């Protein structure tokens, strides 16, 4: 499993535990940001740093509890069109 896939698994685990899921457009943006960062970094094996950087590139913040995502906070007005929990409102916190 490459680092992008591991990072996405951490997000999907978080969403499954919290009972929410980002919409397809947001997931696609996150995946693209992960791949861009992975390509630019020469395939770093640190999936947590990769995920933090990719989310930061998109304006999100992320909190951790060990290796598990505990909270993702979406930026205000992320793209405007995202309706899922990862991009649906100003400063929204995803539990």
Instruction: Delimit the domains of the chain by residue range.
Output: 3-94
The secondary structure of residue 22, as a DSSP letter, is -
Q: How far apart are CA 74 and CA 94, in angstroms?
A: 8
pLDDT at 91 over 50: no
Q: What percent of the chain has pLDDT over 90?
A: 49
Q: How far apart are CA 95 and CA 74, in angstroms?
A: 11
| Higher pLDDT pick, 86 / 80 | 86
Q: How far apart are CA 15 and CA 21, in angstroms?
A: 5
Mean pLDDT (whole number) for 36-62? 87
pLDDT of residue 42: 58
Give the angle subtended at the CA of 18 by the CAs of 63 and 62, to the nearest 5°.
Answer: 15
The secondary structure of residue 80, as a DSSP letter, is T
Mean pLDDT of the chain: 79
Quote the pTM value: 0.74
């Amino acid at each position: 499993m490459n680092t992008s896939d591991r990072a996405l698994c951490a997000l999907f685990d978080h969403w499954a535990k919290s009972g929410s899921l980002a919409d397809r457009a947001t997931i696609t943006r996150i995946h693209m940001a992960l791949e861009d960062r992975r390509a630019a970094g020469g395939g770093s094996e640190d999936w947590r740093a990769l995920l933090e950087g990719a989310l930061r590139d998109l304006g999100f913040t992320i909190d951790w509890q060990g290796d598990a995502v505990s909270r993702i906070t979406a930026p205000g007005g992320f793209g405007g069109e995202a309706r899922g929990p990862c991009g649906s409102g100003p400063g929204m916190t995803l539990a």
